Structure 1
Amino acid sequence: MSDIADASLAYEGVKRIEWADRSMPVLRQIRERFADERPLDGLKVAACMHITTETAGLIRTLQAGGASVALAASNPLSTQDDTAAALVQEYGAEVFARAGTDREGYYAHIHQALETGPDLVLDDGCDLVNTLHIDRTDLLGTVKAGCEQTTTGVIRLHQMALEGALRFPMVAVNDTDTKHMFDNRYGTGQSTLDGIIRATNTLLAGKTIVIAGFGFCGRGLAERARGLGARVVITEIDPVKALDAALQGFAVQPMAEAAANGDVFITVTGNRDVVNGEHLAVMKDGAILANSGHFDVEIDVRALGEMAVEVHRGSRPQTEEYVMADGRRLVLLAEGRLVNLAAAEGHPAAVMDMSFADQALTCAWLATAHATLSPAVHDVPKDIDTEVARLKLASMSISIDRLTQDQEDYLHSWRLGS
């Protein structure tokens, strides 16, 4: 039995899902293929994901392949209640999600999704897999395999595997080339700035934007912030990534140094306390704090609350103004949660088209391949990643070259010299 906020919102949800679907041609092609081939026939899927119109496209594709789907939210602030209603009322999925639910409700919904006894699991941050291994070990024997689509979740899965705790194979969908390129770089780059602008209506041109982390998400953010006229400062712990940022012309500083000069701070690291009390103490009046990492731990919100003498809410949606004892005001966006999903709409549908295509094809592969995989973190097969890119190019009416037979022979021979 689903748990959603308002079933009467289904009509609005369907209209928005159909709008997003028009920008997801790759997933549409896979859905048509799945309807014919039924690669997931009879399988139960439990997913913990953002309840958005784009996610609805993935759920419908899995259903077309023969799966029954139970869906819980991976972030209460990103849940679209009309999408949840449409998935239940019009598309026959089980959904356990309400916008703005508290931590207790969040985990209750994950437990409800798991009650369906899934064969495959899809996770967005590893909370569902974590819950399985800690609270619902009775279900571990029925789970064949799963997918994880976030950097944070993959980090947690690798640690579980390292400790010998992971009980079934998980595929790091997050680590495909297509997802790094489209989702992390172009999607996060655009949608994070979209969330900041919607929440604050601030002009980014001329501002100093400090970006913590120069992975694929950080690179995308830095490129787009520079394009909008901002001065960009990168903070990093990885010497190679820091060097890459410097050679691309970005300033690179420790956070302790950058904290005093930044106008906008964006965290995209997957780690905790990246912006801590020491940094908050020296920030300038009006500094904006935004997180685009999966969990709300990258900015030390507890320290911010302890340092503040007043907190003003409601001036603008998804903004909280923390007033320090010296009169400085620090503006926290979306409670320190994912700003692109809480203050905006997340990635454009065209971006999620590729990420969810990776997910759908990987699920179909796992339906049979799971028996050959160990309880570890596995990569998506290269041919799946290549197929998604090929389908996307075709949808854009772009053709590319093919190797001739002579070129194939040359690449596969070690006997031919210069």
Structure 2
Amino acid sequence: MTVTPIRAKELKHEVKDLSLAPLGRQRIEWAGREMPVLRQIQDRFAKERPLEGIRLVACCHVTTETAHLAIAIKNAGADSLLIASNPLSTQDDVAASLVADYGIPVFAQKGEDNDTYHRHVQIALDHRPNIIIDDGSDVVATLIQERQHQIADLIGTTEETTTGIVRLRAMFRDGVLTFPAVNVNDADTKHFFDNRYGTGQSTLDGIIRATNILLAGKTIVVAGYGWCGKGAAQRSSGMGANVIVTEIDPVKAIEAVMDGFRVLPMAQAAPLGDIFITVTGNKHVIRAEHFEVMKDGAIVCNSGHFDIEIDLKSLGAQATDVKDVRNFTQEYRLKNGKAVVVLGEGRLINLAAAEGHPSAVMDMSFANQALACEYLATNKGKLAPGLHSIPAELDKEIARLKLQAMGIQIDTLTAEQTEYINSWTAGT
């Protein structure tokens, strides 16, 4: 990848330290080794420039993998700007390199407070975007609530989180989603792999980096058995843990049972767990009555998008003392004498304490994001307001390119087979 040095100080940005750029560039290049699909899209975009003249803002976790999405968007010709989608998910060296080495305006710092985060959302909207890449729908929600006059500028948005899709569906139900939104999250090459394998591995990576504890033999309670919960449960089991799943959906609960896991209500699981992982997308999944009955030293963490799944306010009210015991690890001493340990301030543990999903799986997720932006631009004015799926042919093309890069071949239908599966007259 060719990098052209720029005069970074002349580019608007808010990053921690531009001197971190050399390390960030090194790590970005390392991640690129595992992202062959997005690299092909970057190369094509550089030739075809499908986003020429389009103002685009991306609200994403600023990681080495996101850097390659940002580079693809720039190669496509967009006038782009990047902000963080979570106060603890930014990798400061990556943010510095995107500014200094790639000429991309970035407004993100690891550990930024909520006021700074919301100010960065406003900076993103000041860019008057035509396309928004969102991660949790904060930018879109702020646009609708506070910047109605800018909706006319918008071609559409893309969203790649379950939480964000839930919010977009609620917006459409309430009649305020008056523009197209591409549902990247539900693309097969996204949620089957990113949510399951990416979240599964990176969540445990974050827990281990924050605590350095042995998972084998521990009882791990996974709240939620969507694709992220499946990944967390499967990887925990693979590390030798005893896994309990909590669910509100009877179908998912049956699936968890048949996958070999115990299923209990949180009230019954709370006294049994050594480690708790929330991945529901809902609020206060673990709350006061659960903290009260947990084992002394129980560890709780969240891998859902927002820091609302663990009721930290009620935990703080029960505590007589709170202290840092390791990086990203706080011990709450309760009035009953027991301690509850919270990782990553209840934010995404895989990004707060670790590096997020491995680049090989984000290759497909961000390929979907890049192609979704091209799809919006190509179909400007043609898409109805509301949620739109990634076209099936794009989904399959991403899978085909990934297999090709992995050196894996698959079968193709014969003419006879094609005729058979498209016919209703042929029978036994």
Normalising by structure 1, we get a TM-score of: 0.98
For 1:278, the equivalent position in structure 2 comes to 289
Alpha-carbon separation, structure 2, partners of 1:366 and 1:200: 43
SS in 2 for 1:51: coil
For 2:148, the equivalent position in structure 1 comes to 137
Alpha-carbon separation, structure 2, partners of 1:87 and 1:168: 30
Alpha-carbon separation, structure 1, partners of 2:306 and 2:122: 19
Matched, 1:25 2:39: no
In the TM superposition, what is the alpha-carbon distance from 1:370 to its structure 2 partner? 3.5
For 2:306, the equivalent position in structure 1 comes to 295
1:168 aligned partner, one-letter code:
F
2:209 aligned partner, one-letter code:
R
Alpha-carbon separation, structure 1, partners of 2:73 and 2:158: 13
The match for 1:311 among 312, 322, 328 is: 322
For 2:339, the equivalent position in structure 1 comes to 329
Cα deviation code 1:204-248 (max 9, x no counterpart): 111110000001111111111111111000000000000000111
For 1:175, the equivalent position in structure 2 comes to 186
Computed over aligned residues only, the root mean square deviation of the Cα atoms, in angstroms, reads: 0.9
SS in 2 for 1:99: coil
In the TM superposition, what is the alpha-carbon distance from 1:412 to its structure 2 partner? 1.1
Alpha-carbon separation, structure 2, partners of 1:63 and 1:408: 41
For 2:25, the equivalent position in structure 1 comes to 14
The match for 2:57 among 40, 43, 46 is: 46
For 1:406, the equivalent position in structure 2 comes to 416
SS in 1 for 2:326: coil
For 2:402, the equivalent position in structure 1 comes to 392
Matched, 1:107 2:118: yes
Moved over 3 A (4+): none
Cα deviation code 1:284-336 (max 9, x no counterpart): 101000100000000001011000000011x2110000001121010000000
SS in 2 for 1:174: coil
Alpha-carbon separation, structure 2, partners of 1:411 and 1:372: 33
Matched, 1:66 2:100: no
SS in 1 for 2:15: coil
In the TM superposition, what is the alpha-carbon distance from 1:416 to its structure 2 partner? 1.5
Cα deviation code 1:58-117 (max 9, x no counterpart): 010111111121111101111111111111111111111111111110010111112111
Matched, 1:185 2:196: yes
In the TM superposition, what is the alpha-carbon distance from 1:138 to its structure 2 partner? 2.1
2:247 aligned partner, one-letter code:
E
The match for 1:126 among 104, 128, 137 is: 137
For 1:83, the equivalent position in structure 2 comes to 94
Normalising by structure 2, we get a TM-score of: 0.96
Alpha-carbon separation, structure 1, partners of 2:226 and 2:304: 11
The match for 1:266 among 277, 283, 304 is: 277
Cα deviation code 1:130-168 (max 9, x no counterpart): 111111222111011110010000000000001101121
Alpha-carbon separation, structure 2, partners of 1:266 and 1:339: 9
In the TM superposition, what is the alpha-carbon distance from 1:401 to its structure 2 partner? 0.5
For 2:265, the equivalent position in structure 1 comes to 254
Contact map agreement 1:169 1:370 (CA 8 A) in 2: no
The 5 Å alignment of 1:199-238 reads 199-238=210-249
Alpha-carbon separation, structure 1, partners of 2:38 and 2:235: 27
1:17 aligned partner, one-letter code:
I
User: Unaligned stretches of 5+ in structure 1?
Assistant: none
SS in 2 for 1:125: coil
1:26 aligned partner, one-letter code:
V
Moved more, 291-300 or 77-86: 77-86
1:320 aligned partner, one-letter code:
Q
Moved more, 38-47 or 235-244: 38-47
Alpha-carbon separation, structure 2, partners of 1:258 and 1:174: 30
User: Unaligned stretches of 5+ in structure 2?
Assistant: 1-11
Alpha-carbon separation, structure 2, partners of 1:199 and 1:413: 57
